[in-house]
Amino acid sequence: MLRQAYQFKVFRSKRLRHLHRTIDVSAEIWNHSVALHRRYYRLFKKTLPKARLQVHLARLRNGRRAHWKAVGSQSVQAITDRLYLGWEAFFAGDIKRPPTFRKRRKYRSFTLKQTGYKIVGHGRIKILGRNYRFNQSRPVSGVIKTVTVRRDALRDIHITFSCDQVPQPEQAPKTGLSAGADFGLKDFLTLSTGERIAAPQPLKAQLRRLRKAQRTLSRKQRGSKARNRARLDLARVHRKVANVRSDWQWKQARMLLLTFELLVFETLNLKAMQQLWGRKVGDLGFADFLVKAQWMAKKLGRDLLKIDQWEPTTKSCHLCGHRQDMPLITRTFECRSCGNIEDRDLNAAYNIWEAGRRLRSGASSKTAYGRQDALVTAESH
């Protein structure tokens, strides 16, 4: 059984203003909660208990802030849940900043749990008492846990159904192949089979458009109509880039996991990569890709392993294990111990593959014999 999210675009209509309104009110509740939390902390030097905040918000909804009723009580709860997750992550040191005030324009969504919506038919849903039509491009299966209504920077509205217990489709056929994969600057991925996956060309074209739109926006006067138009243009390009990238990543993940029964990656160390490569690694989308690949592995019944970088995969010879310094400029690994000459990324991919297989055979008691067998066959390439 899988978890899966289905996202659909809600068709434009005047009625959408009610959804926008609900999102705006959600922003108000969010900001009110942040303000309360801060004041409480200033006064008592401790965190405002969640239950107290919830009681307070409920009282306001039934009194002075009756317009807050546009947001159902479960959605209010979803807001406080998200806030407290944010605060917990902040106090645990996982994120740098606590949840903070948000502009209405930048506030994007509200979530419904069991109530507040009803699916009326194919592509039809009732949300908070009003009917909407959405572009249902595929069937929704499993059990719907939450429905999230989200607007993007262009004020288009999408709904997302988060489902549990989605039946697993048939498993992908056996191929007997496994590989290690190394993320890189030059090629997006280098596989231990020698195959390389370049970053997609269309994305590069979009990134040029993105830079142009950013330049245009920076030249416009603050508060002007032209600036607002440029802002929307930029948002449109951003959305396009995100869609193209995501689409490409899904296709690559699917293709790779159909081919390989076992795929080994390195655990991403984005900080180290940034230091080494000296630019924003986040832009390259490695982390997003890994999330998709993991989901796809689960869906197709494949294994995806992540190995920790306790041994530097770029700096060790994959044949003899000799370690040497590999400045970024050096594209070829020339082993000073055994004389092996290999492309830098390919050598790393081999090491990742090896480490994954060692890990796998160490845990062999848990592994099906068939899998092990498949690994042995794959060694011959």
Q: Which helix (H) or strand (E) holds 120?
A: strand 117-121
Q: How far is the CB of 354 from Zn ion (least distance, A)?
A: 13
* Contact flag: residue 332 with Zn ion (CB under 5 A): no
For residue 295, what are the CA distances in angstroms to 76, 223, 230? Answer: 30, 43, 37
Question: Which of helix, strand or coil describes residue 146?
Answer: strand
Nearer residue to Zn ion within complex by CB, 255 or 338: 338
Q: How far is the CB of 337 from Zn ion (least distance, A)?
A: 5
* Contact flag: residue 232 with Zn ion (CB under 5 A): no
Burial of 40: CB neighbours in 10 Å, binned 0-12, 13-18, 19+: middle
What is the b/e burial string over 193-205, where b = at least 16 CB atoms within 10 angstroms of the residue's CB?
beebbebbeebee
Q: How far is the CB of 194 from Zn ion (least distance, A)?
A: 18
For residue 220, what are the CA distances in angstroms to 106, 153, 268? Answer: 20, 19, 39
Q: How far is the CB of 353 from Zn ion (least distance, A)?
A: 16
As a whole number of angstroms, the distance between CA 366 and CA 259 comes to 23
Considering only residues 139 through 198, tell me which ones interact with Zn ion, judged by CB under 5 A: none
Task: Point out which span in 96-104, 167-175, 185-193, 322-330 binds Zn ion (CB under 5 A).
Answer: 322-330
Among 205, 338, 363, 376, binds Zn ion (CB under 5 A): 338
* Contact flag: residue 322 with Zn ion (CB under 5 A): yes
Nearer residue to Zn ion within complex by CB, 66 or 320: 320
Nearer residue to Zn ion within complex by CB, 321 or 362: 321
Task: Point out which span in 20-28, 165-173, 191-199, 338-346 binds Zn ion (CB under 5 A).
Answer: 338-346
Nearer residue to Zn ion within complex by CB, 81 or 342: 342
* Contact flag: residue 253 with Zn ion (CB under 5 A): no
Task: Point out which span in 116-124, 183-191, 269-277, 321-329 binds Zn ion (CB under 5 A).
Answer: 321-329
* Contact flag: residue 337 with Zn ion (CB under 5 A): yes
Nearer residue to Zn ion within complex by CB, 189 or 317: 317
**Closest by alpha carbon to 145, among 117, 168, 121?**
117
Among 317, 346, 348, 352, binds Zn ion (CB under 5 A): 317
Residues in contact with Zn ion, shown as a per-residue x/- string from 267 to 306 under the rule CB under 5 A: ----------------------------------------
Nearer residue to Zn ion within complex by CB, 74 or 340: 340
For residue 286, what are the CA distances in angstroms to 49, 195, 223, 312? Answer: 38, 18, 37, 19
Nearer residue to Zn ion within complex by CB, 292 or 318: 318
Task: Point out which span in 94-102, 192-200, 258-266, 339-347 binds Zn ion (CB under 5 A).
Answer: 339-347
* Contact flag: residue 53 with Zn ion (CB under 5 A): no
Nearer residue to Zn ion within complex by CB, 10 or 335: 335
* Contact flag: residue 340 with Zn ion (CB under 5 A): yes
What is the residue whose two structure tokens read 């209405």? Answer: 104
Half-sphere exposure of 265 (CA within 13 A, CB side): 21
Q: How far is the CB of 332 from Zn ion (least distance, A)?
A: 13
As a whole number of angstroms, the distance between CA 360 and CA 368 comes to 11
**Closest by alpha carbon to 185, among 278, 266, 256?**
278
Alpha helices in the chain (DSSP H): 16-44, 50-61, 73-91, 201-219, 225-259, 270-277, 286-300, 344-362, 369-378
Q: What is the DSSP string of 288-307?
A: HHHHHHHHHHHHHT-EEEEE
How far is C-alpha 380 from the geometric centre of its chain's CA atoms? 36
Task: Point out which span in 116-124, 275-283, 320-328, 344-352 binds Zn ion (CB under 5 A).
Answer: 320-328
* Contact flag: residue 319 with Zn ion (CB under 5 A): yes
* Contact flag: residue 137 with Zn ion (CB under 5 A): no
For residue 274, what are the CA distances in angstroms to 62, 270, 285, 340? Answer: 50, 6, 13, 29
Chain residues that interact with Zn ion, rule: CB under 5 A = 317, 319-320, 322, 335, 337-338, 340
